[in-house]
Amino acid sequence: MSISINNNETPSDASPSLRNRRISGVAAPEATVEQDGLEKIKLATTDESDMVTDSAGEDTSSDVDAGNVVGKRKGGEEGKKGESVVKGEEGDDKSGKGDGNLPAKYVYRASAPAHSRVKESPLSSAAIFKQSHAGLFNLCIVVLIAVNSRLTIENLMKYGLLIRSGFWFSSKSLKDWPLFVCWLTLPAFPIAAFLIEKLAWRKLISEPVVVSLHVLLTSMEILYPVLVILKCDLDILWGLTLMLSACTFWLKLVSYAHTNYDLRNLHSKDKGEKSSEHPNLDYSYGVSFRSLVYFIMAPTLCYQLNYPRSMCIRRGWLICQFIQLVIFTGFMGFIIEQYVNPIIKNSEHPLKGNFLNAIERVLRLSLPVLYVWLCMFYCFFHLWLNILGELLCFGDREFYKDWWNAKTIEEYWRMWNMPVHKWMVRHIYFPCLRNGLPKGAASIVSFFISAVFHELCVGVPCHIFTFWAFMGIMLQVPMSTLTRYLQDKFKSSMVGNMIFWFFFCIFGQPMCVLLYYHEMMNSNIITQ
Instruction: List active site positions.
Output: 454
Q: How far is CA 302 from CA 222, 258, 322, 413, 425, in A?
A: 18, 10, 26, 18, 10
Cα→Cα distances 77→26, 68, 83, Å: 8, 17, 8
Report H helices in 392-438: 409-415, 418-424, 430-434
Q: List 394's β-bridge partners, or say none.
A: 309
- Cα–Cα distance, 220 to 178 (Å, whole number): 17
Query: CB under 8 Å to 66, separation ≥6 — which residues?
Result: 100, 101, 102, 103, 106, 107
Query: In 232-354, where does DSSP find H-type helix?
Result: 236-268, 271-277, 289-297, 315-335, 341-345
Task: Report the alpha-carbon distance of residue 279 to residue 264 in Å, rounded.
Answer: 17
**Percent of the chain as helix, strand, coil, to the nearest 5:** 65, 0, 35
Single-letter amino acid code for the residue at 200:
A
432-457 CB burial, b ≥16 within 10 A, e <16: beeeeeeeeebbebbbebbbbbbbbb
Type of residue numbered 382: H
| Residue pair 389/308 in contact by the 8 Å Cβ criterion | no
Helix (H, G, I), strand (E, B) or coil at 72: helix
How many CB atoms are closer than 10 A to CB 510?
25
Would you say 198 and 210 are in contact if contact means Cβ atoms under 8 Å apart?
A: no
Cα-Cα-Cα-Cα dihedral of 36, 40, 41, 47, to 10°? 130
Cβ atoms within 10 Å of 354's Cβ, excluding its own: 11
The sign of the CA dihedral 341, 347, 351, 357 is negative
Collect all residues with Cβ–Cβ distance below 8 Å to 263 and sequence separation of at least 6: 285
